[in-house]
Amino acid sequence: MNQSGVYLLNFASTLYLVGLIWTVQAVHYKLFDRVGTDAFVRYETDHNQLITPIVGPVMLVELATSVLLVFGYAPAWMPRWVAIGGLVAVGMIWASTIFLQVPCHNRLLSGFDLATYQRLVNTNWIRTLLWSARGAVLLYMLWQAMSKPFDSNL
């Protein structure tokens, strides 16, 4: 895959995840406290099983292409700081997922707990803001590249 292909795959995976995280943050997680105690464990279990194949593979693509952008696959028009900053942001998103959101979901598998639910919603803003910033920067980079005269390296 060429440099532009790596960038576009990174861009597409990030934008997909931006849309997904905003849906989860603004809609899905807001409904967790409305499920009811009797159905919550099943709801949380189903959530975990159904969301993983929707988010997991795309997060892996984003991570892999972010690494590639740092290590030689960034288009010439992309500043190195964008690639490095993007990989740092992806690392922070993964760390937040592993150390903050996953433990909350694991606790909620035992039943609804208001404090855990609030921690999940509040800490998920970390991922929401980081993915949004990544998406904005990558969109700006693409806009900058497209604003220049045609270059066969694009």
pLDDT category at 148 given cuts 50, 70, 90 is confident
pLDDT value for 88: 98
Global pTM value: 0.93
Sorted by where each starts, the structural domains of the chain and their CATH numbers stand as: 3-147 (1.20.120)
Residues in the chain, how many? 154
Cα(75)–Cα(120) distance, integer angstroms: 37
Cα(64)–Cα(54) distance, integer angstroms: 17
Residue 154 has pLDDT above 70, yes or no: no
> Tens of pLDDT along 43-83?
999 999 999 999 999 999 999 999 999 999 999 999 999 99
Angle at 42 between CA 40 and CA 48, to 5 degrees: 100
Cα(149)–Cα(53) distance, integer angstroms: 40
Cα(119)–Cα(136) distance, integer angstroms: 26
> Tens of pLDDT along 99-137?
999 999 999 999 999 999 999 999 999 999 999 999 999
Which residue's structure tokens are 């959101």? Answer: 101
The amino acid sitting at 123 is T
Cα(48)–Cα(1) distance, integer angstroms: 33
